[in-house]
């Protein structure tokens, strides 16, 4: 019996994933450490590709549209980030609410996100929302490397 933890139970993901990847040389903790390092490297690479793609105002609109997704963190649904933004534009008039002048261009860039970029964007929104209010805004997006 391998003890993973109470939060990573062997019956559920990611506990099950860790047990499947564990080998004689690498136990679940070593696998988790390796995989987390890979995930952060992937996020960083994707975040660098996002730098400058959206304006500060567009990033604020994205933060509004992706807030729930960023705070709930259900990894299996992160690929739906562009759809969530599209629905916010359609049902909440996101572009008008955020004062975006080129809504079609904004949506085109959102729809063009690669999967890793969508994950990185949701991650950045979550980190942005965790910043103290005084550190949000354009400076916050710069700190996160998106401007």
Q: What is the 3-state secondary structure (H, E, C) of the chain?
A: CCCCCCCCCCCCCCHHHHHHHCCCCCCHHHHHHHHHHHHHHHHHHHHHHHCCCCCHHHHHHHHHHHHHHHHHCCHHHHHHHHHHHHHHHHHHCHHHHHCCCCHHHHHHHHHCCCHHHHHHHHHHHHHHHCCCHHHCCHHHHHHCCCC
**pLDDT given for residue 8 in this prediction:** 55
Residue-range domain boundaries for the chain? 1-50, 53-143
Which tokens is 96 given?
A: 């008008």
> Is residue 43 a contact partner of residue 127, using CB atoms and an 8 Å limit?
no
Q: Is the pLDDT of residue 2 over 70?
A: no
**Cα 142 to Cα 128: distance, rounded to the nearest angstrom:** 10
**pLDDT given for residue 57 in this prediction:** 97
Mean pLDDT for the stretch of residues 109-128: 97
- Work out the pLDDT band at 12, boundaries 50, 70, 90: low
**pLDDT given for residue 73 in this prediction:** 64
What is the sign of the dihedral through the CA atoms of 21, 77, 59 and 125? negative
């Amino acid at each position: 019996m391998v003890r993973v933890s109470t939060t990573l139970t062997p019956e559920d993901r990611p506990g099950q994933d860790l047990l499947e990847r564990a080998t004689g040389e690498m136990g679940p903790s070593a696998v988790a450490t390796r995989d987390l390092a890979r995930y952060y490297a992937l996020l960083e690479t994707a975040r660098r590709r996002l730098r400058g793609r959206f304006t500060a105002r567009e990033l604020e609109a994205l933060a509004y549209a992706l807030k729930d997704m960023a705070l709930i963190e259900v990894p299996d649904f992160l690929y739906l980030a562009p759809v969530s933004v599209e629905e916010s534009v359609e049902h909440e008039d996101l572009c008008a609410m955020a004062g975006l002048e080129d809504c079609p261009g904004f949506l085109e860039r959102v729809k063009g996100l690669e999967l890793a970029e969508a994950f990185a964007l949701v991650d950045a929104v979550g980190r942005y929302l965790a910043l103290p209010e005084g550190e949000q805004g354009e400076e916050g997006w710069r700190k996160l490397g998106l401007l």
